[in-house]
């Protein structure tokens, strides 16, 4: 059985940076919390909990004795104000690409356009992006919702960083028919595009595809959906413990990819497991 690992599998730049900042902060300070899980990966969140880093969903109970790390997805604008009022020490691990989306949202709204954010309504990153918009805005999760938007003089389109580029372009085309002037700022980050392109290419070459990452991770789930559409025998797993040797008895070529929030050691464990299966098959 051949094992092929997709290019660009696992931690992206922003997640690596955020995880590194939590590690560094936990060494330097006590009373450290992340505001919401630092990334959508339960294994990493558990590891930090063991190192004494707590997860708190809101700012209510913080004081000047706490250090709070803001996650890579970012937080609503108001949260910065709340933390500053309480004199909390803040370490901002918001990914620079999310910052760019927040800044674009703010600028486009100030320009007077109705801002359309292509993303998941309840996702924390989308909630953080829209909090920077002072004008009217709409969140659309796909083409159907874009089609239902009203006519406006000016629309501006941005995206949650992990969305699909093809759908983004289609939504831009739809919006052109709904306004007199459209400004497009493609805020989808390259890490997502690269991961998706590599996964698409690999899923077409293998008979079994494993997508590793948090079940609560949006970008991992999207990788899974894309791969499943190409390679019907695609499985979404968080760790090697979800696998058994039986699953691979008919497999000749197994492809592996991992979401941007999946640590390398979880990928390595799956590879080790598959090597054992291969050795037994020989």
Active-site annotation, residues: 125
Which of 68, 98, 202, 254 is the binder for ligand SF4 (CB under 6 A)? Answer: 98
Looking at 20-28, 56-64, 84-92, 188-196, which segment touches ligand SF4 (CB under 6 A)?
188-196
Among 5, 12, 172, 231, the residue binding ligand SF4 under the rule CB under 6 A is 12
Taking the least distance from each CB to ligand SF4, the nearer of 202 and 260 is 260
Of 248-277, binders to ligand SF4 (CB under 6 A) are 260
CA distance 132 to 98: 12
Nearer to ligand SF4, 1 or 39 (CB): 39
Q: How many CB atoms lie within 10 A of CB 264?
A: 12
Stretch 65-94: interaction string toward ligand SF4, x if CB under 6 A: -------x----------------------
b vs e for 53-86, b when ≥16 Cβ sit within 10 Å of the residue's Cβ? beeeeebeebeeebbbbbbbbbbbeebeeebeee
Cβ contact 261:220 at 8 Å: yes
Residues 196-255 close enough to bind ligand SF4 by CB under 6 A: none
SS (H, E, C) 76-90: CHHHHHHHHHCCCEE
Asked if 95 is part of the footprint of ligand SF4 (rule: CB under 6 A), the reply reads yes
Query: Are the C-beta atoms of 38 and 72 separated by less than 8 Å?
Result: yes
Query: Which of 189, 203, 256, 266 is the binder for ligand SF4 (CB under 6 A)?
Result: 189
Answer for the pair 157, 175: CB distance below 8 angstroms, yes or no. yes
Torsion of CA 233, 235, 240, 245, to 10 degrees: -30
Three-class DSSP category at 32: strand
Q: Is 188 among the residues that bind ligand SF4 (CB under 6 A)?
A: no
Buried-exposed string 100-117: b where 16+ CB fall within 10 A, e elsewhere: ebbebbbbbbeeebbbbb
- How many other C-beta atoms lie within 10 A of the C-beta of residue 246? 8
Choices 95-103, 167-175, 228-236, 245-253 (CB under 6 A): range interacting with ligand SF4 = 95-103
Calculate the dihedral angle through the C-alpha atoms of 70, 93, 102, 121, rounding to the nearest 10 degrees.
-50
Cβ proximity to ligand SF4: between 96 and 229 the closer is: 96
In whole angstroms, the minimum distance from the beta carbon of 109 to ligand SF4 comes to 20
167 appears as a binding residue in the annotation: no
Tokens linked to 94? 């918001």
192 binds ligand SF4 (CB under 6 A): yes
Nearer to ligand SF4, 102 or 162 (CB): 162
Between 12 and 231, name the residue whose CB sits nearer to ligand SF4. 12
Q: Is 63 annotated as a binding residue?
A: no
Per-residue x/- track, 119-158, ligand SF4 (CB under 6 A): ----------------------------------------
Instruction: Give the max Cα distance, the chain.
Output: 66
Q: Is 69 helix (H, G, I), strand (E, B) or coil?
A: strand
- Residue number with the shortest CB distance to ligand SF4? 14
Annotated binding site for [4Fe-4S] cluster: 12, 95, 189
Q: Under the rule (CB under 6 A), what is the footprint of ligand SF4?
A: 12-15, 72, 95, 97-98, 161-162, 189, 191-192, 260
């Amino acid at each position: 059985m051949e094992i092929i690992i997709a290019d660009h599998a696992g931690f992206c730049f922003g997640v690596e940076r955020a995880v590194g900042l939590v590690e560094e902060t936990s060494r330097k300070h006590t009373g450290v919390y992340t505001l919401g899980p630092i990334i959508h990966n339960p294994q990493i969140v558990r590891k930090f909990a063991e190192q004494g880093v707590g997860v708190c969903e809101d700012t209510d109970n913080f004081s000047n004795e706490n250090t709070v790390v803001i996650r890579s997805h970012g937080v609503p604008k108001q949260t910065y104000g709340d933390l500053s009022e309480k004199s909390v020490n803040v370490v901002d691990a918001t990914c620079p690409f999310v910052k760019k989306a927040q800044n674009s949202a703010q600028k486009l709204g100030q320009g007077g356009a109705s801002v359309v954010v292509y993303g998941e309504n309840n996702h924390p990153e989308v909630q953080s992006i829209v909090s920077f918009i002072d004008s009217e805005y709409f969140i659309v999760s796909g083409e159907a919702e874009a089609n239902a938007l009203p006519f406006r003089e000016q629309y501006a389109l941005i995206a949650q960083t992990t969305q699909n580029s093809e759908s983004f372009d289609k939504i831009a085309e739809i919006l052109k028919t709904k306004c007199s002037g459209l400004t497009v700022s493609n805020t989808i980050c390259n890490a997502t595009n690269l991961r998706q392109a590599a996964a698409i290419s690999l899923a077409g070459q293998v008979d079994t595809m494993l997508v590793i990452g948090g079940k609560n991770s949006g970008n991992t789930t999207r990788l899974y959906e894309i791969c499943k559409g190409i390679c019907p025998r695609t499985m979404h797993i968080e760790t090697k413990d979800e696998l058994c040797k039986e699953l691979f008895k008919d497999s000749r070529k197994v492809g592996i990819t991992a979401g941007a929030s999946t640590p390398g050691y979880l990928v390595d464990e799956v590879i080790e497991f598959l090597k054992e299966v291969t050795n037994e098959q020989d």
